[in-house]
Structure formats: structure tokens, C-alpha cells
Amino acid sequence: MSITFQPGELFEAELDESLLGPPLAEVIGKEIPTRIAIPFTSDDSRILSGVWEAEPGLSRWEFLERGEVIHVLEGRMVVTEDDGEAVTLEAGSAAVFPIGWRGTWEIQERIRKFFVIFTA
């Protein structure tokens, strides 16, 4: 069975709201409100996919036990891997954060992204 949807349309429905924080990320500075919809989770919970939205702010991410693939639908953020170069992601950009990736995300404009999270 396949599941099809338009990622942008998931924001027309009510989303689950929360503040960014552990275990996902460590906020650096002011609180970062987030909203999420997860229409797919695999039977073994090793893969989940959905749409995530967050307000501007700086946070530290450590993908120690999971990885993530994203496609930015709206907004802009700068991601900087530890000891790496800053990379700007904006609408239309995609990125892979493999298991073991560590660094910061600086959301500069409210971000909306489609994501797939995977574990080993």
C-alpha cells in the first residue's frame, strides 16, 4: 500500500505544537515553537515521515541514533556541521543528515520541511 499526499497541504490542518528541545535538539537562546504532522510511521517505527515547521532560532542537533533527509518547502536556515562550512537551505533545497551528523541549525525565516527520519 502506498500513501500519497502533498506536503504543503499538511499545514492546512491542525498540527501538533510543541517547543523544540531534547531529545531532538538543544535550543541555544530563546524558545523555538514547532508544529508537526507525521502521516507515516513504519510498522517497526524505524522510519517516519511528515512535515515540520519551526520559527526562527538557533539550535544544536546531534544525529547519534537516527538520520534525517529533508526537503525545504518554505523558509530559510543555515546548517553548520561541527568543523564544517555553513550551508544555506531554502525552499527547494534538500539535505541529508546521516547518523553521526552534529552541528547547528540557524532558522532565519520560519521553516517548513518535508522529512524522513530513519534509524539503523
Tell me: the pLDDT tens digits for 37-88?
888 899 999 999 999 999 999 999 999 999 999 999 999 999 999 999 999 9
- The H-or-E segment that residue 112 falls in is strand 102-119
Mean pLDDT, all residues of the chain: 91
Whether 114 and 74 have beta carbons less than 8 Å apart is answered as: no
Give me the pLDDT at residue 57, please. Answer: 97
Q: Answer yes or no: is pLDDT of 27 > 60.
A: yes
**Residue 99: pLDDT above 90?**
yes
Q: What is the pTM of this model?
A: 0.88
The rounded percent of the chain whose pLDDT value lies above 90 is: 78
